[in-house]
């Protein structure tokens, strides 16, 4: 049980979807409301990183128990087929179970601390997030096995994290804040649909009836492309209606990546070794869009300016947490 095995099981390259959503949530609060508390922001980031690692371990554990993710290692990538730590015997099921249980306990304690600092409504966001994380693959709910996991993750990695973080900073929720958190949630929907395509046969065999297992790999590719299109539509409408700062339009710089990724998903949906290129691209798209949205809100003119040092804290914490992901993305370059 080496540290490298735990790092592999953590699948940190997916954790960026949590801390980037929170970064955008705090940036929205700063840009639209002029509100920011550095301690609260760092507590949210800590809780989300720990919770997401626990989620990844939970997913691995219950998929292993249902004999899923036993894919030919030649087909497994960092983006599908699980982490391989259980199927490869690198970690024991008991140790993984203890680790994710501890992760959820720590997440809950941080959430309770935030509720004490901000107000009891924080517990609502905490409850939804923990419930979704635990029961994405855990019985008896098993969202990911019933064809609703993709939508559950859309809501969690968009409004629940983003709007929840906004609430922690601003003390209220607003429609523009909700709209600003939607793009990242829809991108996660696309990412999950795409990652399910190479796992199609294993998921069906193990009874994991997600959208791709139910409707096929072509449907998964179409849902993936549709999610990308909806993401850009949300941003275009948001900027056009002035619900989002004009700088959010820089997110359209990722359109060429989206086109390339869409073509790869549609053409090579039955070739896992080729779909992996699209998987790398969607992670890049999500991360770049998140970073650009955070920058746009941090430097928006609509807020009251916010406390001194707010922008360096938001962007500095994001940079530190993102560095390992950036290294992995660079190594995964074509």
Instruction: Average the pLDDT over 320-329 and give the result.
Output: 90
Q: Cα 36–42–43 angle (5° rounding)?
A: 105
Lowest model confidence (mean pLDDT) among 27-31, 141-145, 225-229: 141-145
Helix (H, G, I), strand (E, B) or coil at 254: helix
Cα gap 330→57, rounded to integer Å: 25
Comparing CA positions, the residue from 10, 108, 115, 106 lying closest to residue 58 is: 10
Could you tell me the pLDDT band of residue 135, with boundaries at 50, 70 and 90? very high
- Is the pLDDT at 186 greater than 80? The verdict is yes
Between the two ends of the chain, the Cα-to-Cα distance in Å is 32
Model pLDDT, residue 77: 57
pTM: 0.92
CB contact at 8 A, 227 and 193: yes
| Mean per-residue pLDDT of the chain | 90
Query: Where do the structural domains in the chain lie, given as residue ranges?
Result: 3-331
- In this prediction, residue 289 has a pLDDT band, given cuts at 50, 70 and 90, of very high
């Amino acid at each position: 049980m080496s540290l490298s095995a735990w790092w592999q099981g953590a699948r940190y390259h997916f954790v960026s979807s949590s801390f980037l959503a929170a970064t955008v949530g705090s940036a929205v609060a700063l840009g639209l409301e002029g509100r920011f508390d550095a301690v609260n922001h760092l507590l949210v980031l800590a809780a989300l990183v720990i919770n997401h690692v626990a989620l990844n371990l939970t997913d691995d554990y219950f998929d292993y128990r249902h004999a899923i993710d036993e894919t030919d290692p030649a087909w497994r990538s960092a983006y599908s087929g699980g982490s391989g730590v259980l199927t490869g015997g690198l970690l024991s099921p008991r140790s993984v179970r203890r680790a994710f249980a501890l992760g959820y306990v720590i997440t809950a304690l941080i959430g309770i601390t935030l509720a004490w600092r901000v107000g009891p409504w924080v517990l609502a966001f905490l409850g939804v997030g923990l419930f979704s994380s635990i029961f994405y693959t855990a019985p008896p709910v098993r969202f990911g096995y019933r064809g609703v996991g993709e939508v559950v993750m859309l809501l969690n990695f968009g409004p629940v994290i983003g709007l929840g973080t906004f609430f922690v900073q601003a003390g209220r929720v607003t429609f523009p804040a909700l709209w600003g958190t939607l793009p990242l949630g829809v991108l996660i929907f696309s990412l999950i649909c795409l990652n399910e395509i190479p796992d199609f046969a294993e998921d069906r065999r193990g009874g994991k009836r997600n959208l791709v297992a139910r409707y096929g790999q072509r449907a998964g590719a179409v849902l993936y492309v549709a999610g990308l299109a909806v993401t850009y539509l949300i941003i275009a409408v948001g900027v056009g209606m002035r619900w989002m700062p004009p700088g959010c339009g820089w997110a359209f710089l990722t359109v060429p990546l989206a086109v390339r990724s869409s073509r790869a998903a549609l053409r090579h949906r039955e070739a896992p070794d080729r779909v992996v290129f699209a998987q790398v691209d969607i992670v890049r798209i999500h991360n770049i869009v998140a970073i650009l949205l955070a920058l746009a809100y941090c430097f928006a003119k609509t807020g009251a300016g916010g406390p001194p040092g707010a922008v360096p804290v938001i962007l500095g914490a994001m940079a530190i947490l993102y560095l390992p992901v950036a290294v992995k993305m660079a190594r995964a370059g074509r």
